[in-house]
Amino acid sequence: MLFEPIVHLLLFSLLFSLLRGRTVAGVEYPVFILVGMAPFLLYRNTATRLMDSLRENRSLFGYKQIKPLDTYVARVIVESCTSATVYAILVFGFAWFGFDMSVHRPIEWIGTLLLGLGFAFGLGMLLALITHAMPSLKMIIRMAFFPLYFISGVLIPASYLPQAMMPILLLNPFLHILELIRAEVLPHYVPVDGVSATYVGSFTIVLLFLSLGAYRARRMHLVSTKNG
């Protein structure tokens, strides 16, 4: 968990400094990328690891009081605590080397992080139900997060992405979440037009409705089969 973000930070900071200089959007590039990369990795890991939570915890279903939904919630808690610890370590390290790691609007920042976590939970549970029915899709879903890493504005501001494609790119909730997070952490960062917390909230509600509805319809089947 600590090695992955450090490698990403070192690699892309070096490449960006060679191509465009050391700053972006008025801040040092390592700070810029950490602010967006840490939440994205949290949401990606939450969504993808929910797909394996049934298989990894199947022995617990021998206890009648433990349901599949409990394993999903537990995985979200574990991923959140782990990511928060890693982020705190990295922030302390950055501050030690003189980077400004203050949060411009902390209350809004926490709210957006929790909104993104709700979105990742809904997405992960829906993917878990889909891959339980079709296990062969797991690899394809994991590979799909690779292009999302680049088109969600993890490495560069969304304003650097092709503007002709922006109406399509804005369909991606990850882009909205990362733009909002950066605007709440970095004092001079301006998100692209069209970014909206309302869109993410509406998308999350629909996603949770679908995933919880599908879970209720298949909850007995999840325990009785070995897929997942």
d(CA 141, CA 127): 8
Using DSSP, state whether 22 is helix, strand or coil.
coil
Tokens of 145: 């997060």
* Single pTM value for the model: 0.88
* Closest-CA residue to 29 (of 99, 89, 78): 99
Give the per-residue pLDDT at 19: 55
- Tokens 């709210």 found at: 111
Give how many domains the chain has, as a whole number.
1
The pLDDT of residue 34 is 87
3-state DSSP assignment of residue 3 = helix
Helix axes 29-50, 106-133, angle to 10 degrees: 40
Which of 80, 72, 43, 42 is CA-nearest to residue 56?
72
Of 42, 72, 8, which is closest to residue 174 (Cα–Cα)?
42
- For residue 226, the model assigns a pLDDT of 57
* pLDDT at site 106: 93
pLDDT at 26: 73
Give the model's pLDDT for residue 227: 56
Which pLDDT does position 123 carry in this prediction? 94
Domain range for 36 is 3-224
pLDDT the model gives residue 182? 93
Q: Which residues of the chain have pLDDT under 50?
A: none
Identity of residue 137: L
Check: CB of residue 195 under 8 Å from CB of residue 61.
Answer: no
Check residue 155 and give its pLDDT.
Answer: 84
Q: How far is 8 from 75, CA to CA, in rounded Å? A: 24
